[in-house]
A = this chain, B = another copy of it.
Amino acid sequence: MAARSGQKRQPAALTRREKVESRETAILSAAQKIFAARGYGKTTTAEIAAAADVAEGTLYLYYKNKEALGRAVLADFYRRVTENARRGVEKCPATREKLEFLARHHLKNVIRERRIIELVYILEREMDSYEGGQLYQMNRAYVAVFDNVLREGVARGEIDATMTPWITRDIFYGSLEYAMRSMLIRDRQKSLEQVVSELVDLVMRKTSPTEDNHPSFANRTGDAADRVLDAARRLERLLAAQETKGEYK
């Protein structure tokens, strides 16, 4: 505590710079909390100001307007979630585990902070060349984690590279976000694991025991294996019919 110039500073007394920074984070986290609870549309700037313990006018010293505040909240969400995704993926040895981790992680986060995610749709796109927009870049950085896993998996031979990478990515994240909506209506926990595993299967092209459409499997004759296979096929048809009947009116 010696060398830092002649300035005495008690723990409670903050320097000017520190005060400004703490105010900024206070506003941001107040906004994040209220947006997450009430949603962007129903949140008033007055509420945010009160929660951050500043005057309404002060908000506008730190953020240009409510929309900019929303953008900042969303950007912060991307930052957190990207960081966590990176860290989690590092720990997984195999591609399948990485993908499963990413899927689970994404689903959990979009469910927990779905009102923050909605900002993606609510906020107007930044007008100047969308590609250069901040949120576009942050989203890029986030999905890049998946892209890397995919690329690595293909290089290692753990994934078949039949699909265009960006389409694979769209399928991955698109399915998850759409599935979230379904899951919020149905039971949550059980479906989560189901969605994750089926989606990862799909992306990895582990087509599991369904290859009978393939020409090379057309009628093999004779042995016990075949008869079991045939039984399986018939069971599957029956099941499919039953399952679909029950689920959709």
Contact = CB atoms under 8 A, between A and B. Distances in A.
Interface of A: 39, 41-42, 118, 121-122, 124, 130-131, 136, 140, 144, 147, 150-151, 154-155, 157, 160-167, 170-171, 173-179, 182, 185-187, 194-195, 198-199, 202, 205-217, 220-221, 223-244, 246-248
A161 B152 CA distance: 30
Contacts of A241: 151, 154-155, 246
Given A162-B236, A228-B232, 16 more contacts: A136-B185, A144-B248, A154-B237, A154-B244, A161-B236, A163-B198, A166-B247, A167-B198, A167-B199, A171-B199, A177-B178, A206-B213, A208-B226, A209-B216, A211-B216, A211-B217
Contacts of A216: 208-209, 211
Contacts of A140: 248
Given A150-B244, A207-B205, A237 B161 contact: yes
A147 B226 contact: no
Contacts of A147: 244, 248
A212 B236 CA distance: 23
Given A174-B176, A238-B242, A164 B211 contact: no
A165 B223 contact: no
Contacts of A226: 208-209, 224
Query: Ordered nearest first, which 5 A-B pairs have the shortest CB separation?
Result: A174-B178, A227-B232, A161-B240, A160-B210, A209-B227
